[in-house]
Structure 1
Amino acid sequence: MKNLTVGDVMTTAVLTARPAMPLKEAARVLHDRHISALPVLDEDDRLVGIVSERDVLLAQSAPIPRDAHWWEAPARRDELRRRSGDTVGHVMTTKVVTTVADVPLARAARLMNRHGVKRLPVLDEAGRRLVGVVSRTDLLRAFLRSDDDIRADVRGEVLVHLLWQDPTAVEVEVVDGVVSLTGELGERSTAEAAERLVRRLDGVVDVVSHLTWRIDDGGLARRR
């Protein structure tokens, strides 16, 4: 059963910036292209940071404190650097949370939530080159699948290919992503497995199982 990955939904035509790009130019690109951030690449095309609308606005709106000194704590110096520069390299965020193309969408969503970010630069398998960007909007595509597509996966992927069951033995109803399963299968463990596998399908919001079985083999717990 193949779930959608970051590579399936990411944007590959990515606009990027260089550290030497003037802030005004970066602001113009963000505004004209209706995007909220730009990955920043060095001269070897390696990801070195990300500059967002917030970074640009902070630099433009926050005055430099008069009590700023070189011996300030690292976090404080970083803040002052970002508030005093006039290029992307001065204001960009350098600690960038990234991912790779084969990561499942659910894991990417958890990563975004954990770090409080709206987008993730996608690197190649070597972790060096930028191959795309995935945003929260991209992740939502997994939940916008039609009920008909979900129903087809329940029958074809779960019942036939994974469980080797007769799909006509189970009535599958899908309404707004909620899957209802009704019918009789051979074993209790198969019925439990069907419910669990359906829950893992992209776009499934919930599963209501009315499945029964002819043989109570103790279920999945006993098989373990």
Structure 2
Amino acid sequence: MSTVVGKRTVGEVMTSEVVQARPDTSFEELARVFTAHRISGLPVVDDDDKVMGVVSRTDLTRHRAGRGQDGPGRRRMAWTLRRPADTHPVGGPALAAGELMTSPAVTVHPEQRVVDAARIMERRHIDRLPVVDEEDRLVGITTRRDLLRVFLRTDEEILADVAGAVSGRAPAAHRIDGLRIDVRDGMVTMVGAPEPALDTTALIRAAWRVDGVVGVVNRLTADRESDHGQ
């Protein structure tokens, strides 16, 4: 009987170590962080790690150009910020993250499906989504690139990685010669009768963790032929 194991979740593809800012993070510090980490945006969190908004390189560029601080679809946050006197660029005082950010942030939860996160990004025209827990505390971030790694892989690439992952789950004393793996449009089908000592559940889980896998069909059966001397 075929069993399809669920869909990939955001929690499986997100980055847990997130570069983040506070509301009073200065313009210059934001610019430095973007350059140092080679990123184009980051979440802004409060003292309780709750996500307040997202600030991007574009936000900094707009401010430098003297426009976009109160553009359409944006909300200015009223913060009393303490900034060093030397953080004012030519043309006016520099704003901090709390004033530059887009708020409220569009967020997702770890248990949401990757396909749903991709749809949100497409609909909202954004490239990153902070991942939050049930109390809106930051637990990770997922980007368009993370999601593309899942979707934009050939079946051949997925098959090679699944084969490697499954082989790695087999103890050295056992073989998985009785296993056949097929991949079509990201759906993995595992057929055969591997040795009884092998943990088939672990094999399925190993396949499921491979980037690009959207589901796993389990058609594995117990290898009983060896019991009859065949």
* TM superposition score normalised by structure 1: 0.59
CA deviation after TM superposition for structure 1 residue 88, in Å: 1.1
Structure (1/2) with the larger helix percentage: 1
- Asked if 1:105 corresponds to 2:119, the answer is no
CA deviation after TM superposition for structure 1 residue 84, in Å: 7.0
- Provide the alpha-carbon RMSD of the alignment: 3.8
**SS of aligned partner of 2:134:** coil
Q: Take 1:60 and 1:103, find their aligned partners in 2: how far apart are those partners?
A: 37
CA deviation after TM superposition for structure 1 residue 62, in Å: 2.1
**SS of aligned partner of 2:48:** coil
**SS of aligned partner of 1:49:** strand
Q: 1:32-111 residue pairs with structure 2 within 5 A?
A: 32-62=36-66, 78=75, 85-111=94-120
Aligned to 1:146: 158
8 A Cα contact 1:18 1:41, kept in partner: yes
Instruction: Give CA-to-partner distance per residue, 1:67-91, whole Å, 9 cap, x none.
Output: xxxxxx9959947x9x975211111
CA deviation after TM superposition for structure 1 residue 36, in Å: 0.8
List alignment gaps of at least 5 residues for structure 1. Answer: 66-72, 153-166, 182-200, 206-224
CA deviation after TM superposition for structure 1 residue 44, in Å: 2.3
CA deviation after TM superposition for structure 1 residue 3, in Å: 2.2
Q: 1:121-200 residue pairs with structure 2 within 5 A?
A: 121-126=130-135, 128-143=136-151, 144=153, 146-148=158-160, 174=183, 177=185
Q: Take 1:75 and 1:61, find their aligned partners in 2: how far apart are those partners?
A: 16
8 A Cα contact 2:107 2:129, kept in partner: yes
Aligned to 1:157: none
Q: Take 1:77 and 1:88, find their aligned partners in 2: how far apart are those partners?
A: 14
CA deviation after TM superposition for structure 1 residue 43, in Å: 2.2
8 A Cα contact 1:100 1:124, kept in partner: yes
List alignment gaps of at least 5 residues for structure 2. Answer: 79-91, 165-177, 190-209, 215-230
Runs of 4+ displaced beyond 3 Å: 73-79, 148-152, 171-175, 201-205
CA deviation after TM superposition for structure 1 residue 45, in Å: 1.9
What letter is aligned with 1:62?
Answer: G
CA deviation after TM superposition for structure 1 residue 203, in Å: 3.6
Q: Take 1:77 and 1:203, find their aligned partners in 2: how far apart are those partners?
A: 35
Identity of aligned residues (%): 37
**SS of aligned partner of 1:132:** strand
Q: Take 1:107 and 1:88, find their aligned partners in 2: how far apart are those partners?
A: 28
8 A Cα contact 1:85 1:91, kept in partner: no
CA deviation after TM superposition for structure 1 residue 94, in Å: 0.8
Q: Take 1:96 and 1:77, find their aligned partners in 2: how far apart are those partners?
A: 11
- Equivalenced residue count is 160
8 A Cα contact 2:8 2:213, kept in partner: no
Q: CA 1:64–1:32 in structure 2 vs 1: closer, same or farther (change >3 Å)? A: closer
Instruction: Give CA-to-partner distance per residue, 1:137-167, whole Å, 9 cap, x none.
Output: 1112223351345799xxxxxxxxxxxxxx9
Q: CA 1:100–1:150 in structure 2 vs 1: closer, same or farther (change >3 Å)? A: same
8 A Cα contact 1:151 1:174, kept in partner: no
